[in-house]
Amino acid sequence: MNIFTQIHEFCVRVTSSKIFKNTIVLIILINSIVLGLITSDAIYAKFGKILEFILSTCVAIFTVEILLRIIAKGWRFFLNGWNIFDFVLVSIALMPETGAAITFRVFRVMRALRMVSSFKKLRHIVSAIL
């Protein structure tokens, strides 16, 4: 078995595990809460560095998650609309937040919608509503 097959199989095992999926949902929740907290000037003045560190850590984890899922699914990853949605949101989060690009920070709040893709029943409800 070559190294590429081993990496692929590892990514498939990791991304299909319940622990991995639940951990990502927890990180999405944490990320959403922190995004809400940084909108408060008082909280940001006191805890800004910690909150920014947490946000950066979340983005790093989301980036690794997307890479693992792409390796696990290959080109088929991009056939699913929710995967494309996840990929775009993580890509936006990786953009520098200076100048005009700072307006993209508002899109980071949409990462909470990524939870919808984690829960099959919730995904069906949202699809029905849309």
pLDDT at position 29, please? 85
What is the C-alpha to C-alpha distance for residues 70 and 54, in angstroms, rounded to an integer?
A: 24
pLDDT at position 119, please? 64
Q: Whole-model pTM? A: 0.80
The C-alpha torsion from 57 through 75 and 1 to 16, rounded to 10°, is: 50
pLDDT at position 107, please? 62
* Tens digits of pLDDT across the chain (130 residues): 799 999 999 999 999 999 998 899 889 889 888 888 988 899 999 999 999 999 999 999 999 999 999 999 999 999 988 888 889 888 888 877 765 555 565 666 666 666 665 666 666 666 666 5
pLDDT at position 43, please? 94
> What values do phi and psi take at 80, rounded to 5?
-100, 125
